[in-house]
Structure 1
Amino acid sequence: MNERRKHKLADTAQQIVGGFLLAGPFVVTEEVWSLAQNMTPIHSIGLVGAVMAIGYGGLYGADNDRDPQREAAIVGVPVRFISVLIVAFGSVGALAVAVTAPTVFLGDLDPAARAGVTLRAISIAAVFSVVGAVTTDSLF
């Protein structure tokens, strides 16, 4: 029988630990916010693609025991992969808001510009956050 493996809350909890662990140092680094100010939307799209590639590769390429075809899925996309992406971007966003990083680093910008730069900064830090999320998910 080809039963699909269910994604458990414990799996997401492990991803959250790793995602927050590696996101923290990048959220509070001024250089990340400076880079984000100079990025274009194309740069952000490229980084989102990199986060997706790292996430998928880390979950299913590096771990020979995992088969995306045997995992619970939503519209054909494995729930574990969706979860790791939400954790990667969400942990960075939550930390940025919690420590008021957009206000500290971008206080002189109008709210719309600040929101755009914040999204770009999130795309930068998510590259590192996804590594932590995938690693803890694979180790435990």
Structure 2
Amino acid sequence: MKERRKHKLADTAQQIVGGFLLAGPFVVTEEVWLLARNMTVFHSLVLVGSVMAIGYGGLYGADNDRDPRLEAAIVGVPVRFISVMIVAYGSVGGLAFAITAPDLFLSDLAAAERLAVTFRAISVAAVFSVVGAVTTDSLF
């Protein structure tokens, strides 16, 4: 039986570079924030599922050398996959708040609605961030 492959800090660092690289242009694009205003919870859940599918497929479907059963896991979920999800959503959320995008694009909304729309915008931009994260993780 093969030994489980450990997830290293360098793996997460690579994911962060890719996640931030592709997240940036979408966090600062007004169209993403307009789309988020019109989305429902259902739309956000579909996007979350899409991000998870892209992340898992990119890590384990596109890379024949990786087997999720042989990777370090938490409750059966590979640590590498968990890391990619945290990076995808964390990079978008971190950028959005660091550059005050919600204040700029959603200044006309009440605080609770602004927060809800921000989470929806994060779900849109995470689709692109996860692509960057899994690509850099797979390339390096």
TM-score, normalisation: structure 1: 0.99
* Distance (Å, rounded) in 2 between the aligned partners of 1:61 and 1:138: 11
Q: Which residue of 1 aligns with 2:3?
A: 3
* Distance (Å, rounded) in 1 between the aligned partners of 2:89 and 2:35: 17
Aligned residues: 140
Q: Which residue of 1 aligns with 2:32?
A: 32
* Distance (Å, rounded) in 1 between the aligned partners of 2:8 and 2:15: 11
How big is the shift at 1:2? 1.9
Q: Which runs of 5+ in 1 are unaligned?
A: none
Q: Which runs of 5+ in 2 are unaligned?
A: none
1:60-118 Cα distance to aligned partner (Å, 9 max, x none):
00000000000000000000000000000000000000000000000110110000000
> SS at 2:64's partner residue?
coil
Q: Which residue of 2 aligns with 1:117?
A: 117
Q: Which residue of 2 aligns with 1:51?
A: 51
Q: Which residue of 2 aligns with 1:68?
A: 68
* Distance (Å, rounded) in 2 between the aligned partners of 1:2 and 1:77: 18
* Distance (Å, rounded) in 2 between the aligned partners of 1:102 and 1:5: 39
* Distance (Å, rounded) in 1 between the aligned partners of 2:99 and 2:32: 15
> SS at 1:56's partner residue?
helix
* Distance (Å, rounded) in 2 between the aligned partners of 1:111 and 1:14: 34
Paired letter, 2:99: V
TM-score, normalisation: structure 2: 0.99
Q: 1:96 aligned to 2:96?
A: yes
> SS at 1:131's partner residue?
helix
